[in-house]
Homo-oligomer: A and B are copies of this chain.
């Protein structure tokens, strides 16, 4: 039994109302999950994806994976929170075609340049007949949406137009793929909006950032910083790109939702004009926003998991309550009560199930802890008789006993505590992970400690790209950008020593 496992058992013994379950906890090694997340994050991540059956990587097309029920159920909940929030803020849902004609795709020069290397092309049908035009499997759908925007927008009365779709997109990635983090097909939402003025468009960008906070931080429990990306790292075709970086335990950042001010860069080639109140025809201003649900799920795994496996925030847990009958032999009364409790919880909108498998009780405990179910209810003959329940919290690995009658109010209260606890732990782990660095050595030191370096930098416009290349080459790290409220540099550029015009953040990425 590993050290981690022992400490868990220790906690249990101390926890209020727990009974001696030590014997059952000594399961076969295969049922336990005890990899140090801190010491070997990469192995931990690979292993939990497999063991919790989040995705199967054996599908026989390179870079494509099969998303399994345990991740799909969580991601469907994540979709729902994102979509409800977008709809509440006035976005309307669409389903656009997956295929984009090459002629659309080519209209915006920067966009085609940026995305062409990653496009999968449909060129044939049937027995090999050629299509008259190549069709792109959408890597993103600007060039599909904006074609239609040109039909839909005629007058200022048609604005703002706020749309979105949930969709799967395709990118021929040349970097190594990793489940959830980077696949050749992934699942996201893309929101596209058109406005009469640049001011309103920038307000939308700010609203997107607020949406990111409301959903990714306040519901999914993910801390992040929004950066304005340097000129050389903007979305292909954007005037400005703002992106949320989440820092994983291995010190690598992941770009989670990004929101882009596209200005009139697409409305001109796509000819999206409106007649304004003054009677004049003008091009609209466009924004787009793209939370990648399957990638956000990677951060949910990475940020909340611990050495025993996954931990889920309550509202996105694929299963919220697992009920484990703990009678030493088959006890019909206990099983009946367990099934009644399940139905009772389901009827109250709580995702619950009973584990009636042939596994030992101890193995069941390990299994559902590894799967990250927030609450476990244990019920045996004693609990049945006394109308009490033993409840185990996955986030704190602690048990307590409650009266059966107070179950709902207990869950009501404790589900909020679980989320609060997970968010606080995540926020705390993110604190102090940004350090000032005055030299390449200090940057390297910060990065090696899994931190983000904050530095004075010559320029985030194209003149600074050379220094960024030095960082990329020598430190294997990237300039993530500047804070939204510009910070004043207090010294020369950390790379070239010239006058600094910005304070930038530097981090490693996958």
Knowing A120-B122, A122-B137, A126-B116, say if A58 contacts B172 (CB, 8 Å).
no
Beta-carbon nearest neighbor of A294 in chain B = B95
Task: Please pick, from B92, B147, B148, B170, the residue contacting A98 in the complex, using a CB distance under 8 A.
Answer: B170
Tell me if A76 is interfacial: C-beta within 8 Å of chain B: yes
**Contact status A121-B122, CB under 8 Å:** yes
Q: How far is A56 from B147 in the complex, measured between Cα atoms in Å?
A: 12
A243 to B324, CA, bound (A): 41
Number of A residues with CB within 8 Å of any CB on chain B: 53
- Interface flags for A86-99 (1: CB within 8 Å of B; 0: not) read 00000011111111
CB closest chain-B residue, reference A183: B97
Is A156 positioned at the interface, with any CB of B under 8 Å from its CB? no
A96–B121 alpha-carbon span in the complex (Å): 20
Chain B residues near A137: list those with CB within 8 A: 98, 122, 137
B-chain residues with CB within 8 Å of residue A121 when the two chains form the complex: 122-125, 128
> How far does the Cβ of A69 sit from chain B's closest Cβ, in whole Å?
4
Q: Does A118 sit within 8 A of B, measured CB to CB?
A: yes
Instruction: Kindly report which residue of chain B lies nearest to residue A76, judged by CB atoms.
Output: B93
Q: What CA separation (Å) do A93 and B134 show in the bound complex? A: 33
Residue A117, interface by CB 8 Å: yes
Q: Mark A101-114, 1 if CB is under 8 A from B, else 0.
A: 10110000000000
Across the interface, name the chain B residue whose C-beta is closest to A91: B69
- The digit string for A59-96, where 1 denotes a CB below 8 A from any CB of B, is 11100111111001101100000000000000011111
- The residue on B at minimum CB distance from A132 is B62
CB distance from A101 to the nearest CB of B (A): 5
- Tell me the complex Cα distance, A60–B66, Å: 31
Partner of A72, one of B60, B93, B125, B168: B93
Q: Report if A412 contacts B (CB, 8 A).
A: no
Assess whether A124 is in contact with B123, with CB atoms less than 8 Å apart: yes
**A93 to B, closest residue via Cβ:** B72
On chain B, the residues within 8 Å of A67 by CB distance are 94-96
Given contacts A116-B126, A120-B122, A121-B123, are A97 and B59 in contact (CB under 8 A)? yes
- Scan residues 148-169 of chain A and give those whose CB is less than 8 A from a CB of chain B: 148, 151-152, 168
Instruction: State A332–B62 Cα separation when bound (angstroms).
Output: 61
A435: interface (CB < 8 Å): no
A97 B65 Cβ-Cβ under 8 A = yes
B101 touches A60 (CB 8 A): yes
Chain B residues whose C-beta falls within 8 Å of the C-beta of A119 in the assembled complex: 125-126
Given A66-B94, A72-B94, A148-B56, residue A117 in contact with residue B123 (CB < 8 A):
no
Q: Which residues of B contact A98 (CB under 8 A)?
A: 98, 137, 168, 170, 185
Report the separation of the CA atoms of residues A121 and B126 in the bound assembly, to the nearest whole angstrom. 8
Distance of A12 from chain B, by nearest CB (Å): 29
Partner of A94, one of B68, B93, B95, B135: B68
Q: Say whether A59 contacts B125, CB under 8 Å.
A: no
Which of the residues B60, B65, B135 comes within 8 Å of A104, measured between beta carbons?
Answer: B60
Main DSSP-derived SS at the A contact region: mixed
CB of B187 within 8 A of CB of A99, answer no
Q: Which residues does chain B contribute within 8 Å of A118, judged by CB atoms?
A: 125-126
Contact B61 A99 (CB under 8 A): yes
Query: Chain B nearest CB: distance from A366 CB in Å?
Result: 19
Q: Are B61 and A101 in contact, with the CB atoms below 8 A? A: yes
Q: How close is A104's CB to chain B, nearest CB, in angstroms?
A: 7
Give a binary string over A129-155; 1 marks a CB under 8 Å from any B CB, 0 the rest. Answer: 000001101000000100110011000
Residue A28 at the chain B interface, CB threshold 8 Å: no
Q: Are B58 and A151 in contact, with the CB atoms below 8 A?
A: yes
Cβ–Cβ < 8 Å partners of A152 in chain B: 56
Q: Given the complex, which residues of B lie within 8 Å of A117, measured CB to CB?
A: 126-127
CB distance from A507 to the nearest CB of B (A): 28
- Looking across the interface, which residue of chain B has its beta carbon closest to that of A104? B60
When distances are taken between beta carbons in the complex, the residues of chain B under 8 Å from A59 are 96-97, 144, 147-148
Report the Cα distance A460→B170, complex, angstroms. 44
Most interface-central of A66, A98, A144, A187 (chain B CB within 10 A): A66
B66 with A96: CB separation less than 8 A: yes
Given contacts A59-B97, A60-B101, A60-B147, contact A172 B72 (CB under 8 A): no
Pull 28 A–B residue pairs with CB atoms less than 8 Å apart, ordered by A: A56-B151, A59-B97, A59-B144, A59-B147, A60-B103, A60-B104, A61-B100, A61-B101, A66-B94, A66-B95, A66-B96, A66-B97, A67-B95, A69-B92, A69-B93, A76-B93, A95-B168, A98-B98, A98-B137, A98-B185, A99-B185, A116-B126, A118-B125, A120-B135, A121-B123, A122-B123, A124-B134, A125-B172
Can you add 6 more A-B contacts, CB < 8 Å, to A58-B151, A121-B123, A121-B125? A58-B148, A59-B97, A61-B100, A75-B95, A116-B126, A117-B127
List the 8 closest A-B pairs by CB distance, nearest first.
A69-B92, A64-B97, A67-B95, A121-B124, A125-B172, A72-B93, A117-B126, A123-B123
